[in-house]
Structure 1
């Protein structure tokens, strides 16, 4: 019997993981990616217990991930009137003990390469340099058109093509991404002496500026500085030499304590990008085509849940395919409608709340003025003063997805 073919648009972080699961369940996924080769762009991401729980269902994958476990959260104020440690939490260690999975910093290009190589090792076909531009739906198939004039056909299509998703445009039309009013400037740097034998995710809080950093391997740290600034496009290209030198020598963190200045000055390359999200969609599918990950619910990075929520999407998407189409045969329109509808019912409320939460978190970390800065610092002190209450507050986030409700 010929396996049911599925076209996945996008070979970023979500696309290969979805393809691996589909392959393991008897489908024949084919990934089409607009760029010509695996990207070296991007800085890092933090895998969290909910995302790790999904990845751990793929045999042997977690052991291949190169990164560094985070064992604590640290908050330092760098404002003159309150320059000190304002909160320290062992939450990441507690989470690992409670849920069996760590928080781990990974360098994005290395993590991406691991996912691509694992997918290819499972027999997943990845076709590079093919940008999806059209979808023609029929009763039993979808014909996908690409910018180079070629086409392909599959039983159904999943758009994993990110913030600038052409799949989303084909389904629901053009729309503008929402600039959050914040930019980030970031880089990868040698581990500063300040960290020594500690491995926290560190937050430095200044006047209208927030810096976060964490280890991504034994010798390197990824960092990002958030500020309120005019819009800067999300290109992920390196800044020019003049801008990089200016940021290192005269930028807002160039003299910060607690490891800040060492990281900024030690970066080989610095990138700058705007932070965006999109309006909430009421539905993520139309006919035989559905959206997943950033294509459905792009978010700003302040909760570190972008990739982790994509993995939750994948878990439920595949679980529901198994539930409604257990033999992985060519699904009818009714079967897909049931799968996609139940998937949306579960996922839209959760992801919408996290998108709003991420935006709020970013805004509250970059306040201006003495009184607002003091207020921010006191809120953080109070929030993180009770370790048990903090862990309980994160329970709803990190106990999902509910693996026990149905195996996939």
Structure 2
């Protein structure tokens, strides 16, 4: 076959969460033929929400028209409150000034907002539809259970015994990644000692500013809330307690009513109202995985939570996966500009550069997220809590300091013009 008639290089993308369809869109636009396999049913309603921050939004903006379609809410206000009994107080607040209506985002706005709150279901549906419209093939209820590498290809095996083959494979299959297990063996997940209880609720009537990301600092509990739709807020309470299995299933009605009696229901500043009016809740434990020293082997590479799972305390999980995508696509273009069938040596060069850029950054952010959870959010003892509260107050007394702290996590993945 003449080079001008060669078949496009097939790439198997494992996982159709946040990372999989976005990666597939970029690969498709660069001349590859990505095929996405997802283990669960299409449009599954697991999880709650996420916060898209400037670094992740920059990557999404590279897909034409996608930014304008995002069905989320731009948070242009931040509020920090202490709910320690007897010491309830507002610790600080900040309002962002954007250059446009907050219903729409421009690139100029991206550095001037806390982020965009978005329902996970809505976001994943949009991403998968965007990939399908771009001509990407997506297969649901196809669980990858093993990966076998050959000299110039990779074979993936599914739970039903069938297989598929591609030039190379990208594992975007999340914190329970079977691609990772196939490469590096099964690891023991360790419970962090923290659980989260999260839900959806109407926005509190007492709030003067609706598009608000609120942090509530209590004793042995922390709550974060942000708007994800018209008069709809998503929230999560983190606390230290006995192990709770890592599941994203909603609680049943009887447990929902019981959870509404949680001590947080007495908190002020609208926090208690969020819990009392919740119409959906889930509860789950937070777990750590061992840090990997490398993210690839041969013709298979990991991305997002499959490579570097993180606790949620910086809100950077999805955003870091999007950064991964940007750099992985960039190095593939660098080392394989024709999008032809790459040799293992070409993939090695690309994967090594991708890893050298991404591994140090994500490792530092994973550690920072754990520290925020342990040292700032879930603290025991009134004196320690009051000291924490004063630290928060001091930071937001000079908003430039607080904004610099936020920028450390959300600056990236590129400065100026993109390279892809």
Shorter-chain TM-score tier: over 0.9
The within-5 A match list for 1:366-405 is 366-404=378-416
Residue 163 in structure 1 maps to residue 175 in structure 2: yes
CA distance, structure 2, for counterparts of residue 34 and residue 276 of structure 1: 21
Alignment equivalent of 1:81, drawn from 75, 80, 86: 86
Deviation at 1:98, TM superposition (A): 7.0
CA distance, structure 1, for counterparts of residue 275 and residue 98 of structure 2: 28
The within-5 A match list for 1:23-34 is 23-34=28-39
Alignment equivalent of 1:40, drawn from 45, 64, 67: 45
Q: Is residue 77–residue 209 contact of structure 2 (8 Å, CA) maintained in 1?
A: no
Alignment equivalent of 1:6, drawn from 8, 11, 29: 11
Counterpart residue number, 2:278: 267
Alignment equivalent of 1:333, drawn from 344, 348, 352: 344
Deviates more, 1:32-41 or 1:295-304: 32-41
CA distance, structure 2, for counterparts of residue 235 and residue 325 of structure 1: 40
Counterpart residue number, 2:324: 313
CA distance, structure 1, for counterparts of residue 416 and residue 35 of structure 2: 29
Q: Is residue 226–residue 233 contact of structure 2 (8 Å, CA) maintained in 1?
A: yes
Change (3 A) 1:406 1:267: closer
Deviation at 1:194, TM superposition (A): 2.1
CA distance, structure 1, for counterparts of residue 305 and residue 156 of structure 2: 20
Counterpart residue number, 1:99: 111
CA distance, structure 1, for counterparts of residue 287 and residue 314 of structure 2: 14
Q: Is residue 213–residue 226 contact of structure 2 (8 Å, CA) maintained in 1?
A: yes
Deviation at 1:237, TM superposition (A): 0.6
Counterpart residue number, 1:129: 141
CA distance, structure 1, for counterparts of residue 392 and residue 162 of structure 2: 54
CA distance, structure 2, for counterparts of residue 261 and residue 396 of structure 1: 31
Deviates more, 1:284-293 or 1:66-75: 66-75
Alignment equivalent of 1:51, drawn from 34, 44, 56: 56
Alignment equivalent of 1:290, drawn from 296, 301, 304: 301
Deviates more, 1:239-248 or 1:375-384: 239-248
Alignment equivalent of 1:277, drawn from 265, 284, 288: 288
The within-5 A match list for 1:198-209 is 198-209=210-221
Listed one character per residue, the Cα deviations across residues 36-74 of structure 1 (whole Å, up to 9, x for unaligned) are 222111110000000000000000111111010111221
Deviation at 1:96, TM superposition (A): 6.1
Q: Is residue 365–residue 409 contact of structure 2 (8 Å, CA) maintained in 1?
A: no
Change (3 A) 1:274 1:215: same
The within-5 A match list for 1:144-293 is 144-249=156-261, 251-293=262-304
- List 4+ stretches of structure 1 deviating above 6 A: none
- SS at 2:275's partner residue? helix
Deviation at 1:397, TM superposition (A): 3.1
CA distance, structure 2, for counterparts of residue 132 and residue 21 of structure 1: 22
RMSD between aligned residues: 1.7
Q: Is residue 276–residue 298 contact of structure 1 (8 Å, CA) maintained in 2?
A: no
Deviation at 1:247, TM superposition (A): 1.4
Deviation at 1:243, TM superposition (A): 2.4
Q: Is residue 197–residue 284 contact of structure 2 (8 Å, CA) maintained in 1?
A: yes
Listed one character per residue, the Cα deviations across residues 242-273 of structure 1 (whole Å, up to 9, x for unaligned) are 32211102x02111111112111111121101
Listed one character per residue, the Cα deviations across residues 141-172 of structure 1 (whole Å, up to 9, x for unaligned) are 00111110110000000000000000000000
Change (3 A) 1:102 1:303: closer
TM-score (norm 1): 0.96
Q: Would you say how many aligned residue pairs link Structure 1 and Structure 2? A: 407
CA distance, structure 2, for counterparts of residue 244 and residue 56 of structure 1: 38
Listed one character per residue, the Cα deviations across residues 306-357 of structure 1 (whole Å, up to 9, x for unaligned) are 0000000000000000011111000111110001000110001100111111
Q: Is residue 83–residue 267 contact of structure 2 (8 Å, CA) maintained in 1?
A: yes
Q: Is residue 74–residue 202 contact of structure 1 (8 Å, CA) maintained in 2?
A: yes
Q: Is residue 77–residue 86 contact of structure 1 (8 Å, CA) maintained in 2?
A: yes
Counterpart residue number, 2:102: none
Deviates more, 1:86-95 or 1:156-165: 86-95
Residue 344 in structure 1 maps to residue 344 in structure 2: no
CA distance, structure 1, for counterparts of residue 380 and residue 221 of structure 2: 8
CA distance, structure 2, for counterparts of residue 180 and residue 101 of structure 1: 30
